Structure 1
């Protein structure tokens, strides 16, 4: 599969830079020109699907699950004063220049194509090109429908991520400016204006619903690295949860289990550590993208977060590995060379539980919570939580543990009301420990656009986070 991915990735530029007419002309065809629906489906892996490089792999440095100040390490210099800690200091301390340079003062985004923003749009362009050409491909209607559904669904995921990186939370200010909606593959020379958060979400929902309508009648295919029906409904359930459309979120989560979604009993696994974000896990519906940590061998979980795991929780036993220096490293994630993310049925369960709490369906929500915990914690005894606020917090706490370091927490903090959090930092051993604070509803909950991207597209308006003064530690 990996060899095929690299081979067809080189065709992406050919597809995205060709017009539909030229692309399909007899005189232009060769062995590498996609002609059939199968060709397009394979080409989508290279032009539309993520490779093993995750554009927002530094996002976890900003949330409250990581700590550069490791008082529990045998050797504090493992992080304190290390090159990696200093290099990523701007993300960790929420500095306005984080999109343009690293903590050592090196410019990292002079070329806009290397930015998170541009990398997602490059994949969107690939999806657009496939969507523009698939109807003319050779193949059955069902084959073409599957390809079209995949392209719509992965494009929707990219826009969802862009909206949650560069736009305000939907439940906070849906009318605010977000990112441009680029729905064609052609190169545009004129400035592209920003759509609103509401408009981007409408596009995301529309694309996902079209994808589901096209793919649901088709046989469900699993373990082939292409998005499938349950994964589409998991993503729809997530989007509706962010929009606070509770009933729709529950309905989409239900479809996941109607289509055969499973929850793995992790308490029976005998491994002490290792990734379960792969197709060996029965609840995984789609494996995609790259590792969500910039360097999982350097940055350790915050001690206060680790303490939230039950001592018999299999996610702790399998997800973290104690190093020789006394640091609990994250071992749940695959190595960088592997695809590192997975969409799995446990998210549908937790999406449904949270939405049901908001709907006042506490019994249904509690059942889902207990059902999941029973599959995660050895010897777990069902809890009885009757208070709505307490149950909501319990579901959210479970979500935090279930998806730790998978690029969930930052987005969740945004929709939870953008709470105040702080990070401790020590530049070198012996120096003072300083605290950096992200205030409630801080402008940095919406990331700044890289300067090179704004210079490339004058239609973009810089977010307030990019116009702040440097953040000073106390």
Structure 2
């Protein structure tokens, strides 16, 4: 990571790009060194650094319309899976992710390269806060808040790195993971094992949980202890630690209210009482075409609305009953494909206001916690409890829902189907396929029939353990990090 750390080292460039109130500081600080003495002399300065990290989670990287922070990687992970369809090439964005060719390239500007840079940039800046905030002038409560947020962000970044650059946790504990950095450095490290990376993720989240006890987040874009518990549940699910997943998911969802039908149909662009974490994007700072809504809001004037439409598969659509609100936000199919929108067009994501790109990005919802808890309970053999949790969630979407699968494998499969429906388009597809050891398997046919178009996907079926599904370490990293060699590249 040596070359990447050098690029990220000027903290003035990496994080202090927030609002007009910071402009003078940016203009007067040398950009060739980390101004730790200025940034971290007080908790106010450290807060600016933290805000900068959160802002970097939705801004465009290098001006690219395909790299806009966390949601661009969420979109990538769904495009790699089975349930999202792009019927035409359109402007070409995310087509390479869809056909599994984007991450096989090791250049800095490839999907793999941008993913590596994005998450390690976050890790590097989080490490700077963690290493320096204890000495900052301010209250202990404020120092704890800042450190807890930074530990969470580091864990969050490592969770996605380890899942994109290696296979799932279970059965691969001793496989090469990713370089593990817990302090600011310009010296590269080798690939830690998957187990070592997960150990750090768990430790960071446990520390963040303690530090954030009783604290209220500054802003919708920040996190609190419930968000930490939510990520603990997400991580435990991936690790197949069912007991911890059930406990943390239950704790995380307390105090949140599931969306009613009207709120669910409102377009997922405004934070509400179900959202546990989201990123707020002001209109005057929106990235417009380089944004999640540009690529996923089929009703907006972005790439999706201009041709790169995103559809849900017929298979998944037909698993929803006519009384399910989630079916209402999909264009019902017609024989001539002449509905208001293309057959099976998803209307889940829409901008809140006409003529404005101001919106919120959802990163965690209570519904995910219900699904994690239900699955974990079912896998523990606590079927009756699992059914209760599952039905509580799904009845909020479909008042007539009653699961006919009440135990064993059938119940687990029903929970997984509801997970695919509920979390469609939110970034979980490839993570779930990995942990479930299920292949990428797409029904090929015509888009008006809710099927994948073979000429666009290229990959109809692929084992989830195929090494070709792994992202590639950037070649510049291999060239400049003395702890890595060509043999460390993913096969």
Q: TM-score, normalised by structure 2?
A: 0.76
**Match of residue 421, structure 1, among 433, 441, 452:** 441
- Following superposition, the deviation at residue 346 of structure 1 comes to 1.4
Find out whether 1:447 has 2:453 as its counterpart: no
- Contact map agreement 2:162 2:194 (CA 8 A) in 1: yes
Q: Deviations over 1:327-355 (max 9, x none)?
A: 44333335576442231211111111111
- Contact map agreement 2:331 2:343 (CA 8 A) in 1: no
Question: Aligned ranges for residues 270-309 of structure 1 at < 5 Å?
Answer: 273-276=265-268, 278-279=270-271, 281-288=272-279, 295-296=295-296, 297=304, 298=308, 299-309=310-320
Note closer, same or farther for the CA distance 1:193–1:330 as it changes in structure 2 (3 Å cut): same
DSSP-derived class of the 2:277 partner: strand
Question: Aligned ranges for residues 342-361 of structure 1 at < 5 Å?
Answer: 342-361=363-382
Equivalents in 2 of 1:225, 1:321: separation in Å? 35
- Contact map agreement 2:77 2:428 (CA 8 A) in 1: no
- Following superposition, the deviation at residue 385 of structure 1 comes to 2.9
- Following superposition, the deviation at residue 88 of structure 1 comes to 4.3
- Following superposition, the deviation at residue 462 of structure 1 comes to 6.6
Equivalents in 1 of 2:388, 2:147: separation in Å? 37
Name which of structure 1's ranges 389-398 and 245-254 shifts more when overlaid on structure 2.
245-254
Equivalents in 1 of 2:30, 2:226: separation in Å? 29
Find out whether 1:165 has 2:141 as its counterpart: no
- Contact map agreement 1:222 1:228 (CA 8 A) in 2: no
Which residue is equivalent to 2:176?
Answer: 177
Which residue is equivalent to 1:60?
Answer: 78
Equivalents in 2 of 1:388, 1:406: separation in Å? 27
Which residue is equivalent to 1:316?
Answer: 327
Equivalents in 2 of 1:144, 1:449: separation in Å? 35
- Contact map agreement 1:423 1:437 (CA 8 A) in 2: no
Equivalents in 2 of 1:278, 1:432: separation in Å? 32
**Match of residue 437, structure 1, among 461, 464, 484:** 461
Equivalents in 2 of 1:386, 1:48: separation in Å? 42
Question: Aligned ranges for residues 326-337 of structure 1 at < 5 Å?
Answer: 326-333=342-349
Which residue is equivalent to 2:396?
Answer: 375
Equivalents in 2 of 1:439, 1:92: separation in Å? 15
Note closer, same or farther for the CA distance 1:89–1:466 as it changes in structure 2 (3 Å cut): farther
Note closer, same or farther for the CA distance 1:324–1:38 as it changes in structure 2 (3 Å cut): same
Equivalents in 2 of 1:12, 1:361: separation in Å? 56
Name which of structure 1's ranges 134-143 and 305-314 shifts more when overlaid on structure 2.
305-314
Which residue is equivalent to 1:120?
Answer: 119
DSSP-derived class of the 1:130 partner: helix
Note closer, same or farther for the CA distance 1:224–1:294 as it changes in structure 2 (3 Å cut): closer
Which residue is equivalent to 2:51?
Answer: 45
Q: Alpha carbon RMSD of aligned pairs, Å?
A: 3.7
- Contact map agreement 1:370 1:383 (CA 8 A) in 2: yes
- Contact map agreement 1:284 1:343 (CA 8 A) in 2: yes
Equivalents in 1 of 2:455, 2:475: separation in Å? 33
Note closer, same or farther for the CA distance 1:8–1:197 as it changes in structure 2 (3 Å cut): farther
Equivalents in 1 of 2:381, 2:330: separation in Å? 33
- Contact map agreement 1:176 1:196 (CA 8 A) in 2: yes
Question: Aligned ranges for residues 241-280 of structure 1 at < 5 Å?
Answer: 241-258=237-254, 260-264=255-259, 266-267=260-261, 269=262, 273-276=265-268, 278-279=270-271
Which residue is equivalent to 2:200?
Answer: 203
Which residue is equivalent to 2:299?
Answer: none
Which residue is equivalent to 1:408?
Answer: 428
- Following superposition, the deviation at residue 23 of structure 1 comes to 2.6
Which residue is equivalent to 1:149?
Answer: 148
Name which of structure 1's ranges 319-328 and 194-203 shifts more when overlaid on structure 2.
319-328
Q: Deviations over 1:72-105 (max 9, x none)?
A: xxxxxxx1x5442xx644322323x64439xxxx
DSSP-derived class of the 2:312 partner: coil
Q: Deviations over 1:263-284 (max 9, x none)?
A: 23x23x178x4423532x2111
Note closer, same or farther for the CA distance 1:432–1:39 as it changes in structure 2 (3 Å cut): closer
- Following superposition, the deviation at residue 285 of structure 1 comes to 1.8
DSSP-derived class of the 1:310 partner: coil
Note closer, same or farther for the CA distance 1:327–1:5 as it changes in structure 2 (3 Å cut): farther
Q: How many residues align?
A: 427
Gaps of 5+ in 2: 1-15, 60-67, 282-290, 297-303, 334-338, 352-356, 447-452
